[in-house]
Structure 1
Amino acid sequence: MPYRPLQIAAWLTFAAASQHAFAQSNASAEAAAPAAASGVTAAAPATARGEQALPAVKVTAAVQADSPLHLNTPVSAGALGSRSQLETPFSTTVVTGEELADRQANKLGDVFAGDASVTDSSNAYNAWATYITIRGLPIDWQNGFRIDGNPFISYGITMPYENLERVELLKGLGGFMYGFAQPGGIVNYVTKKPGAEPVTSASLGYRMDGVLSQHVDLSRRFGPDGMFGARINYTHEAGKTYNAGDINRNSVALALDGQLTRDLAVYFNAIYQQSRSSGGTPAIYTGSYTAANLPATISGGSNLLGGTDQHLNTNLQLYTGGVRYQITPDWSFNTSLSYSKSTRDRNESTLTLLNQAGDYTDNRWNGDEGHQDIYWQGMFEGKVKTGPFMHQLVLGASWQHQTNDYSAVSYSFELGNGNLFQPNPWRYYSGAGLDKYRASEITQKSVFASDTIQLTSRWSVLAGVRVTNYDQQTYNVNGSLASSYGHNGVVTPTFALMYKLEPNTTVYASYVESLEQGTSVASNYANAGALLNPLRSRQYEVGIKSEHGRWSANAALFRIERGATYENDQHVLTQDGTSIYQGMEAGGSVRLGRSWQVAGDVMLLDTWYAKGQTYNGNRVAGAPRFVAAARVTYDVPFVPGLQVGADTKYTGNMEVRPAGNLQTGGYMLVNVGANYMTRIGGHDVTLRAAIDNITNRRYWMFQYENYIAPGDPRTVSLNAKIDF
């Protein structure tokens, strides 16, 4: 295990020192830069499009500078309230809507392609839609996803990224901030809201092999002094996917707000999405595989593994209403109530791999599933002064009730044998509408408080605590109670010490605990139906964040201790010992001259099982030792408005299972793209083109412990947007 604390600490110290030295060497250059460099009077900020002014653009206000890492961007930090990335003593990532459009993101892994701590395990067209790992830890599909801070069940849901303002990622433990959740991290989708200026835009897109998409964005303010606002986004896509499947998706997002008085505001948000897809690529299960190496890689664009009989139909609904009240200039109150509902109708194969020649058994599962989440939160945020110290306080409470419904009769059976390199000969067509029963209910009641104390102009300390009453029941098909777990007064604390090295540079050390709900064991394990106990995790992190006009950087040293859960040799899902995740991540971006921008991100990770009876010392499944990402963009000076770029990401070798005897192999992906902003007929027009995996690299992608899938093939995406 080569990456141990002293070595990693040395790397982090070097990274921090390098950043500070970089800041000093760039200070004179930043001081000499003209004021326009931080607020270009063009259709897009300099940091996104360079300093090329587009013709005939009417300037109505100065553009606020923003670096590619967006460290001054406010992020939702749950019980910490709303604060910028720079003021948050944990690692975070923000991806803006403009970046999502430029990347033409099609799945969650695309969203975080530039973040080395995120490993892609997702697929846009099957139930693995939101599977990623963060620092080697899987994200919790039941508790790890939020929309505007409100929980929803993400399983199988590919979000309409065109409808989003940005996507926020809190890495590591979210227990204090959000309650029970696995320690991988929290993804928060922020939807577009009505702004001060009207918006009318439409776009048309194409993705190979034949998916066409349309998107409309409308926003207006109305009433006396524009006191009411409304924004609606609609997205439709349909056509033939790269693996000869089909997709038909309709998404609409509505945001309403009203500034009723100077201090009182109300809002209502709604999302509705219906998606139907067929021909998705099956997952490949390796639990019974005995060879030392995986079979030769195949393309994720192949239609050999599945057929149009396989399908995934999903529906997502989320409705949120809330009130914001500014009690005094220093104190505010925000309360909201949300209801989310997601359903799935699945007919999917899992291919059980038998040997290195690629032989498999096709196991089909067909059933319906549904989830509901009702969530309320009330929170006070404010400032008080005690003697020489200023306190930033957050006080609140929340209540969440989640229900999970599964098919009373689901169909799981073996179709027959096949081979990865030959067409799958098996078909099983099915309908929908199977009866469901209440499989489980989970209720969380929490109170929380945090206090950030400003000790001096540079030093501050944070302390917070969440106390949760947790109750979980699982039921049999006949409605009788199968198992239950309940515990009152579960405490998940956090502590942090922060130091302002300079106004735009924060050094921090933090500690946080988290508790994740007990796993209800799935049907593919020998102890199916059992309810495992909740697991407590601990995270230690030391980091630095620095934000400047022409460059920004961050680095973190972390250690996460999580109770280990894995499938043993008897195919029993068991809890045994501890999983340790220890490593360093560092990244930065710099603008060179007027046209070049270079960004890079790296993660070094060491993981092992400890204190258990079976796999002590083995690497944790799904955790790469090394990941590196880089991006270069160039604003073409002789074609104003044209930007070209390329990015690459190398993902290191991963263990497929805890036994440590099967690996995916490392792989590098290269993507290229171009964006062109111009005016046609008096309207702003943006043309975008992207080629993902331009070398058409074939690779095995880790999806989950014992599960792999072929990586996505080379894909071409085009988009044209017009602003009216």
Structure 2
Amino acid sequence: MSSTPKLRPLSVQLLRAGLLLALGLPGTGWAEDAPRRSYQVPAGSLSAALTRFAGEAGVSLSLDPQLVAGRSSAGLSGEFAVEEGFNALLRGSGLVLQPAGRGSYTLLREAEQDDPAHVLPSTTINGQGAGGGSDVYAGGQVARRGKLGMLGERDYMETPFNMTSYTREVLQNQQARTLADAVANDPSVRTTNPSGGRFEQFSVRGFSLYNSDVAYGGLYGVLPTYSIDMEMVERVDILKGPGALLGGLAPNGSVGGGVNIEPKRATDAPITEFTALYASAGQGGGHVDIGRRFGPEQRFGLRFNGVRQAGDTEWDHQRVEREASVLGLDLRGERTRLSLDVGHQARDVDAPMERVGLAAGVKVPDAEDVQHNFAQPWTYSRAKDTFGALRGEYDLSDSWMVYGAVGARKGDYDFLRHAVVVANDSGRFTVSPRAFQREEEVRTATIGARSWFSTGAVGHTLNVSLNRFDMTFDNSGARYANGISNLYDPLALAPPGTPTQPDTPTHTESVLSSLAVADTLSFADDSVLLTLGARLQRVEVDSSAPGEADQVYDERATSPALGLVWRTSERLSLYFNYMEGLTQGQVAPETAANANKVFAPYRSKQVEAGAKYDLGSFSATLSVFRIDKPSYYTDAQNNLRADGEQRNQGVELNLFGEPLAGVRVLGGAMLLDAEQTRTADGRFDGNRAIGAPIVNANLGVEWDLPVVQGLTLSARAIHTGSQYLDAANQQKADAWQRYDLGARYALKLGGKDVTLRASVENVLDTAYWASANVPEGTATGLTLSTPRTWLVSATVGF
């Protein structure tokens, strides 16, 4: 079971394609400067026109807001260079464009153009176009724009939600390998499964988030189900709260928030990079990143990313092997924009860590006493995903755009595992081996239209979207004779022999479809933005198993939504939102007595208000929220049941930027009051919800040493409060802290750009229970921390 598998055929093909591209397409002769591009900017206020153009061009524009107040623009349509386009928008305004650095501009009155004493204003406008991640905030760790589903990409100051978008730059500098590493930056998000486990899972605002609910360029279910590698990623958007209006129904019902991953695209400048990777105790590998643009006016783009890393981890008899290959193609036409992404990812884990469940009345073990991997050496996890997405936009006119996207994924998963449920205070648990196979097929599509127009002094951005998500999966497996082991002193048992009981195979088909309409109204020179919308949703589920009655659901609901943004100034935005959603019901896990039971769909609601303050180089978001959703629990007979509601309300603070030259800050805090309500006979009413800490806090700092050019030191602290493991609040995991340190050094070596990185996670090698999350009533809840881990990498640009 532990032999090293060979590279998968599709990975080999994509890797060869990338290497041929690097060898066959020379780096010379490619334009370094941005070419003329096609732009469609509708007529309207000058401020809105400049914002949109700056966003689509991927540049920043600094100005005095009084210069553009009350002014209008005729818009533009056609192909322009950046300065040429700005000048067309400014024609007749009495304002002129002034370069203010690479990729940066400011506006002056014509009379001030030649005045050397004129001081450039500090207010910056960055637009909301489809620039693909080029519009980064000061410090480079966070992007100004993020994807809001059918509403398109928006600047965070014009978004009626709490959203943070992490850039490729910060992911690479932190040596993020999977999505779990990326979300460690956010105080509202926590990882709820061991890093060396079978799969990754998260908690946002105290509610579970599954990988299948992570969107890929706005499409659910396309990315791998159990783990997502970060080498393919341009940007990670984390949106807090339900997003039913924005992207439709999340396949697994995540309501605390959502994650969208934007794929990499070829940039105007050629890219050829190789990164050597190492993680303790012996995981070596490499990552290649190649990008080129070619053809007339560089309209065609190609970006390839391939990674492979394998070796032993810090845990006993555990080995992780991961590989991924993703090829991205895009076309930038005069009125047409197309992209295609195809990829393959495989992840193999020997002796994957398991969550630790506790029988009733058993005290929570001291994590410091767990010194070894308690998973049997013969257990394994094998996951393979092949996926793709095709997207397109077409400008019908200056004020109408239509768009569409289709995506698909095929997943094959094979596990041999055992649950860990500690039966007494001495750490004894029963090893019940189970083989589990799952096959998934996903097909998803969205079509929509967007229009910009005005009715008097009110601007409108009208969106219409139709979504459909189809998933079919088949589960099968077998069970084997039990054995006995111990959490503190694990026993190596013989590998399973002949199965004692085959599992009943199940076949489930789910269809999630919806129609949404939304209008964003702009008032008072775009200082007030009001979004009104609704989504008509339908959930169809048909689950069958031999000898059992089919479980069929067909539910419909209309979910309204409201979002309001008031730009009181260029620095301060106030916002409010109300969202409702219909979510597919939970499926009882394989560990439950009523395994594979499908529950009816349910509704969730959120109300949120907040403020965003942008100092130009440093920004803060403060929000208060409340989310209500039905909850589940596991009864004494080990049946998963729907029972009551969970109400999570809290306060969030997010910080990012470069408050001092060479000093970057990334972090924040969340205070959470998660309460159980309306439980059966009121037996748990008022108790804290499972796996919901009162306080989460993050603080990451980077410092560019002025005495050594190119050297950067980094540090990060993560705090998570205590959490309950059971609904009765009798079993509690203590609060914990983790500290990370790192350094990187950028230099020129042989005329090539080289960046060396080294970091250590959990530098104090502290053992703790990272999460007591019990996702929707399953039995295994405690997640053990990862031991001290060293990460080293070196990137060379050719």
TM-score by length of 1: 0.87
Q: How does 1:396-545 map to 2 (within 5 A)?
A: 396-407=465-476, 410-413=477-480, 415-428=482-495, 439-457=507-525, 458-477=527-546, 482-488=550-556, 490-545=557-612
The aligned counterpart of 1:388 is 457
Change (3 A) 1:196 1:481: farther
The separation in 2 between residues aligned to 1:430 and 1:275, in whole angstroms, is 25
Q: Which amino acid aligns with 1:253?
A: V
Alignment partner of 1:161: what SS? Answer: coil
Deviation of residue 223 (structure 1)?
Answer: 1.9
Q: Which amino acid aligns with 2:656?
A: S
Change (3 A) 1:122 1:504: farther
The aligned counterpart of 1:150 is 219
Deviation of residue 583 (structure 1)?
Answer: 0.4
Q: How does 1:174-323 map to 2 (within 5 A)?
A: 174-180=243-249, 181-243=253-315, 244-259=317-332, 261-286=333-358, 288-291=359-362, 293-298=363-368, 302-323=371-392
Q: Is the 8 A contact 2:618 2:659 kept in 1?
A: no
Q: Which moved more, 1:585-594 or 1:148-157?
A: 148-157
The aligned counterpart of 2:647 is 580
Change (3 A) 1:455 1:430: farther
The aligned counterpart of 2:30 is none
The separation in 2 between residues aligned to 1:647 and 1:657, in whole angstroms, is 31
Q: Which moved more, 1:119-128 or 1:434-443?
A: 434-443
Q: Which amino acid aligns with 2:623?
A: A
Q: Which moved more, 1:704-713 or 1:616-625?
A: 704-713
Q: Is the 8 A contact 1:642 1:677 kept in 2?
A: yes
Alignment partner of 2:724: what SS? Answer: coil
Change (3 A) 1:133 1:65: closer
Gaps of 5+ in 1: 1-26, 29-33, 41-62
Deviation of residue 111 (structure 1)?
Answer: 1.0
Change (3 A) 1:38 1:222: closer
Change (3 A) 1:584 1:274: same
Deviation of residue 525 (structure 1)?
Answer: 2.3
Change (3 A) 1:89 1:557: same
Q: Which amino acid aligns with 2:486?
A: N
- Residue 106 in structure 1 maps to residue 174 in structure 2: no
The separation in 2 between residues aligned to 1:303 and 1:363, in whole angstroms, is 19
The separation in 2 between residues aligned to 1:205 and 1:198, in whole angstroms, is 23
The separation in 1 between residues aligned to 2:162 and 2:733, in whole angstroms, is 27
Q: Which amino acid aligns with 2:638?
A: H
Q: Which amino acid aligns with 2:784?
A: P
Larger Rg, first or second structure (1 or 2): 2
The aligned counterpart of 2:159 is 88
Q: Is the 8 A contact 1:76 1:83 kept in 2?
A: yes
- Residue 120 in structure 1 maps to residue 188 in structure 2: no
Runs of 4+ in 1 over 4 A off after TM superposition: 34-40, 68-72, 153-156, 429-432, 434-438
Question: Which of the numbers 399, 418, 439 marks the counterpart of 1:349?
Answer: 418
Deviation of residue 271 (structure 1)?
Answer: 1.3
Gaps of 5+ in 2: 1-62, 65-98, 106-133
Alignment partner of 2:231: what SS? Answer: helix
The separation in 1 between residues aligned to 2:487 and 2:380, in whole angstroms, is 20
The aligned counterpart of 1:720 is 794
The separation in 2 between residues aligned to 1:324 and 1:590, in whole angstroms, is 32
* Matched-pair identity in %: 25
Deviation of residue 655 (structure 1)?
Answer: 0.7
The separation in 2 between residues aligned to 1:655 and 1:422, in whole angstroms, is 25
Q: Is the 8 A contact 2:146 2:164 kept in 1?
A: no
Q: Is the 8 A contact 2:211 2:226 kept in 1?
A: no
The separation in 1 between residues aligned to 2:756 and 2:498, in whole angstroms, is 41
The separation in 2 between residues aligned to 1:123 and 1:338, in whole angstroms, is 29
Alignment partner of 2:686: what SS? Answer: coil
Deviations 1:287-324 (A, max 9, x none): x2413x31121488x54412431111101111112321
The separation in 1 between residues aligned to 2:154 and 2:551, in whole angstroms, is 40
Q: Is the 8 A contact 1:299 1:712 kept in 2?
A: no
The aligned counterpart of 2:785 is 711
- Residue 560 in structure 1 maps to residue 632 in structure 2: no
Question: Which of the numbers 124, 133, 138 marks the counterpart of 2:203?
Answer: 133
Deviation of residue 600 (structure 1)?
Answer: 3.7
The separation in 2 between residues aligned to 1:581 and 1:615, in whole angstroms, is 15
- 1 or 2 for the larger relative contact order (CA 8 Å, sep ≥6)? 1
Alignment partner of 1:345: what SS? Answer: strand
The aligned counterpart of 1:667 is 736
The separation in 1 between residues aligned to 2:322 and 2:330, in whole angstroms, is 27
Alignment partner of 1:220: what SS? Answer: strand
Deviations 1:161-201 (A, max 9, x none): 11211111111112222222321221112111112111100
Deviation of residue 74 (structure 1)?
Answer: 2.4
The separation in 2 between residues aligned to 1:253 and 1:510, in whole angstroms, is 36
The separation in 1 between residues aligned to 2:596 and 2:744, in whole angstroms, is 51
Change (3 A) 1:626 1:354: same
Q: Which moved more, 1:419-428 or 1:340-349?
A: 419-428
Q: Which amino acid aligns with 2:353?
A: T
Change (3 A) 1:644 1:35: farther
Change (3 A) 1:593 1:167: closer
Deviations 1:473-524 (A, max 9, x none): 111146x752110024x21111022110212432101100112111222232
The separation in 1 between residues aligned to 2:286 and 2:498, in whole angstroms, is 29
The separation in 2 between residues aligned to 1:124 and 1:152, in whole angstroms, is 22
Alignment partner of 2:482: what SS? Answer: strand
Q: Which moved more, 1:669-678 or 1:97-106?
A: 97-106
Q: Is the 8 A contact 1:201 1:218 kept in 2?
A: yes
Alignment partner of 2:474: what SS? Answer: strand
Change (3 A) 1:285 1:596: same
Deviations 1:434-468 (A, max 9, x none): 99955211112211111111122322211111112
Q: Which amino acid aligns with 1:245?
A: Q
Deviation of residue 545 (structure 1)?
Answer: 1.7
Deviation of residue 718 (structure 1)?
Answer: 0.1
TM-score by length of 2: 0.79
Alignment partner of 2:172: what SS? Answer: helix
Alignment partner of 1:372: what SS? Answer: strand
The separation in 2 between residues aligned to 1:307 and 1:389, in whole angstroms, is 65
Aligned residues: 660
The separation in 1 between residues aligned to 2:293 and 2:503, in whole angstroms, is 45
The separation in 1 between residues aligned to 2:190 and 2:692, in whole angstroms, is 9
Q: Which amino acid aligns with 2:311?
A: G
Alignment partner of 1:254: what SS? Answer: strand
- Residue 77 in structure 1 maps to residue 148 in structure 2: yes
Q: Is the 8 A contact 1:359 1:418 kept in 2?
A: yes
The separation in 1 between residues aligned to 2:135 and 2:604, in whole angstroms, is 39
Q: Which moved more, 1:273-282 or 1:661-670?
A: 273-282
Q: Is the 8 A contact 1:333 1:379 kept in 2?
A: yes
Q: Is the 8 A contact 2:516 2:534 kept in 1?
A: yes
Q: Is the 8 A contact 1:70 1:85 kept in 2?
A: no
